[in-house]
Amino acid sequence: MNEGGLGPTAREITQARLATLGMLVAGIAHELNTPLGALNSNHHVIERALLKLGEILEDEVVTPDELDEVRRVVRATESVLRTNGIAVERMVNLVRNLRNFGRPTTSEPRPVDLHEGIEGTLALLGHELKEIEVVRDFGELPLVVCHPNRINQVFMNLVHNAAQAMHDGGVLTIRTRAEGDHARVRVADTGRGIPRDVIEEIFEPGFTTKGERIGMGLGLAITLQIVHQHGGEISVESEPGRGTTFDVDLPLRPPTGPARKEASE
Amino acid sequence: MDEITPDAGTVMVVDDEDMVVDAIQGFLELETDHLVLPFTSPRAALEHLESEPVHAIVADLMMPDLDGVQFLSRARSMRPEATRILLTGYADKENAILAINEAGLYQYLEKPWDNDVLAFAIRNGVERSLLFRELTERMAELEAANDELAGLRQRWIQAFL
Ligand SMILES: Nc1ncnc2c1ncn2[C@@H]1O[C@H](COP(=O)(O)OP(=O)(O)OP(=O)(O)O)[C@@H](O)[C@H]1O
Ligand SMILES: [Mg+2]
């Protein structure tokens, strides 16, 4: 690891933050799109259905044929409303999961339920995880004093990397445990793994094997920095062809008062 | 059997999200005369195509297992006459444009889609499929006629030799 070595520059941090923001926005847009599409279409169907019913009811007399049509329209509307219920629930859940993502960075660290951030991350990256089985092995975790949005960025980078390493599907396991005076979050994938000769370099800013269009090689450098700012540690183990495991250890409260502010602010 | 008109015809709807399939099916059944075949698994949809033709297929781009482009490409080789329409999510435009050639797309629509636009695309898609079938039949007839002519010519030539 580049302990004491050169960390990412302020410019790189800003760049990476923009990339995370882009990921966030894309994630939200993607996740909202499906329920929104259904709601939008169904809204239109209900509108027309009511119009139809209104037309039938306009003249006092309703013929048996018309009655059949009324029944059909009502049945269809009921089914459309059921779908709407599911769509609304999906959107509510998504927004609930995102509660912690929008907090300003400059705020003081505060006690945070890490599981919320993990759920938010998984909800946001849902479209990248479609072919991946996600296992939540959550233990009892006390609240951790930290900057939730920064810590969420850590989860986001790790989960994003894991998803990218499992193009053809696999299992993503997120395990949380309280161990003494710190919390440990393990993000493990069954993806392609990291070759032994580069594993020392993955936390270096700019190191990427994904090509410039996909990765900037900043995800892990920023992750390391955030974890260090919180007085924590991150370690990695990997077996090429079998998978990779990252362990993030965070003290339940930062050792020396509030965590340091980062260079870009 | 009744002549199928562009306003009827069979439409296959494939999306891994129940919600989307339900919404499109609900709309088409209430507002059109299309027969709707809903599928949440592209593989099951392909199995169905194996045994039954359809006039139009609406498929989502982002599906696990088999994405919309792969699915429509296979559907194309099995049932070239079925018109293919792709539904794409946010920011998938580039992929959709690539797919136009790969899957021989008739049209792609972005989510959230507009029902009237969808209905219009499907109606025209069915019409196109019916024309395609008629054309293939005519071509076959023409070919048969051609073969006959060639045979005739052969016999004439032989008669003069
Ligand atoms: N879970 C993982 N499985 C396999 N390789 C990984 C994993 N996580 C990281 N790596 C390797 O470490 C490199 C650096 O990761 P990092 O997140 O810093 O950058 P990146 O993902 O390439 O780009 P960016 O995060 O800026 O989009 C990756 O390019 C990849 O080779
Ligand atoms: Mg990364």
Which domain CATH number covers B55?
Answer: 3.40.50.2300
Note the pLDDT of residue B47: 97
CA distances from B3 to A37, A68, A187, B6, B136 (A): 34, 26, 59, 10, 17
The Cα–Cα gap between B36 and B55 comes to 11
In a domain, B92, yes or no: yes
Nearest to A34, CA basis, from B13, B31, B42, B22? B22
Question: Is A202 a pocket residue for ligand 1 (Cβ < 6 Å)?
Answer: yes
Nearest to B129, CA basis, from B50, B75, B93? B75
Please give the tally of structural domains in chain B. 1
With tokens 């099916």, the residue in question is B25
A110-141 in b/e form (b: 16+ CB < 10 A) is eebebebbbbbbbbbbbbbbeebeeeeeeeeb
pLDDT tens by residue, B146-159: 888 888 888 888 87
pLDDT tens by residue, A205-241: 888 898 766 777 888 988 998 999 999 999 999 999 9
In a domain, B120, yes or no: yes
Cβ neighbours around B45 below 10 Å, total: 23
**Tokens (6 digits) for A203:** 């936390």
Note the pLDDT of residue A93: 80
Pocket test for ligand 1, best of A220, A235, A247 (most atoms within 8 A of CB): A220
B57-93 in b/e form (b: 16+ CB < 10 A) is bbbbbbbeebbbbbbbbbbbeebebbbbbbbbbbebe
What is the domain range of residue B91? 10-135
Range scoring the smallest mean pLDDT among A103-107, A257-261, B109-113: A257-261
Question: Is A196 a pocket residue for ligand 1 (Cβ < 6 Å)?
Answer: no
Cβ neighbours around B131 below 10 Å, total: 12
**Residues of chain A contacting residue B23, judged by C-beta atoms under 8 Å apart:** 37-38, 41-42, 45, 80, 83
Residues in chain A: 265
**Cβ(A120)–Cβ(A93) under 8 Å?**
no
Q: How far is A122 from chain B (nearest CA, A)?
A: 16
Instruction: List, in sequence order, every beta strand (DSSP E) within chain B.
Output: 10-14, 35-39, 56-60, 83-88, 107-110
The Cα–Cα gap between A25 and A52 comes to 39
Note the pLDDT of residue B130: 94
Is residue A263 over pLDDT 50?
no
Question: Is A35 a pocket residue for ligand 1 (Cβ < 6 Å)?
Answer: no
Q: Return the SS3 of A221.
A: helix
**Tokens (6 digits) for B136:** 């293939």
DSSP secondary structure code for residue B128 in this structure: H
Which residue of B23, B90, B115 is in closest CB contact with A33?
Answer: B90
In a domain, B61, yes or no: yes
Is residue A86 over pLDDT 50?
yes
**Tokens (6 digits) for B42:** 């592209």
Note the pLDDT of residue B91: 64
Strand partners, B35: B10
**Tokens (6 digits) for A172:** 């993503």
Distance A180 CA to ligand 2 centre (A): 30
In a domain, B4, yes or no: no
Q: How far is B8 from chain A (nearest CA, A)?
A: 18
ipTM over 0.90: no
Distance B157 CA to ligand 2 centre (A): 75
Q: How far is A37 from chain B (nearest CA, A)?
A: 4
A244-248's contacts with Cβ under 8 Å and 24+ in sequence apart are: A244/A162, A244/A165, A244/A188, A244/A189, A244/A191, A244/A193, A244/A194, A245/A186, A245/A187, A245/A188, A245/A189, A246/A158, A246/A186, A246/A187, A246/A188, A247/A184, A247/A185, A247/A186, A248/A154, A248/A158, A248/A184, A248/A185, A248/A186, A248/A187
In a domain, B77, yes or no: yes
In a domain, B31, yes or no: yes
In a domain, B155, yes or no: no
Distance B50 CA to ligand 1 centre (A): 42
Note the pLDDT of residue A249: 97
User: Stretch B52-69: mean pLDDT, rounded?
Assistant: 92
Pocket test for ligand 1, best of A172, A174, A208 (most atoms within 8 A of CB): A208
The Cα–Cα gap between A172 and A71 comes to 47
pLDDT tens by residue, A112-122: 999 999 998 99
- Give the global pTM: 0.73
Output phi, psi for B87, to 5 deg: -100, 130
In a domain, B60, yes or no: yes
